Structure 1
């Protein structure tokens, strides 16, 4: 009986670690998505600036 209880306890610990790892992975994915969003924003600003310069040069 004690052995089964210890086995259940070890199983709960493994599940806990797995959940923790999955949460960390989701957080890393969210961070990568935020970084991609910042990259798109920088690209957009760069293009906007280039278009503005071209418009100005044409004048």
Structure 2
């Protein structure tokens, strides 16, 4: 079976880094999809082990 339903990718070191966009991608979107809709997300910063 599958390990994740979706992968959330976000360019962390963008020239115009925007805290509001980061908050949406990781806090609001991830929280809503995982806790309200039951999706299992892979978020690089949270779920990928260095060298993995």
Normalised-by-shorter TM-score class:
0.3 to 0.5
Please identify which structure carries the higher helix content.
Answer: 1
- Structure number with higher relative contact order (C-alpha < 8 Å, ≥ 6 residues apart): 2
Please identify which structure carries the higher strand content.
Answer: 2
Please, what TM-score do these two structures have when normalized by structure 2?
Answer: 0.35
Q: Which has the larger radius of gyration?
A: 1
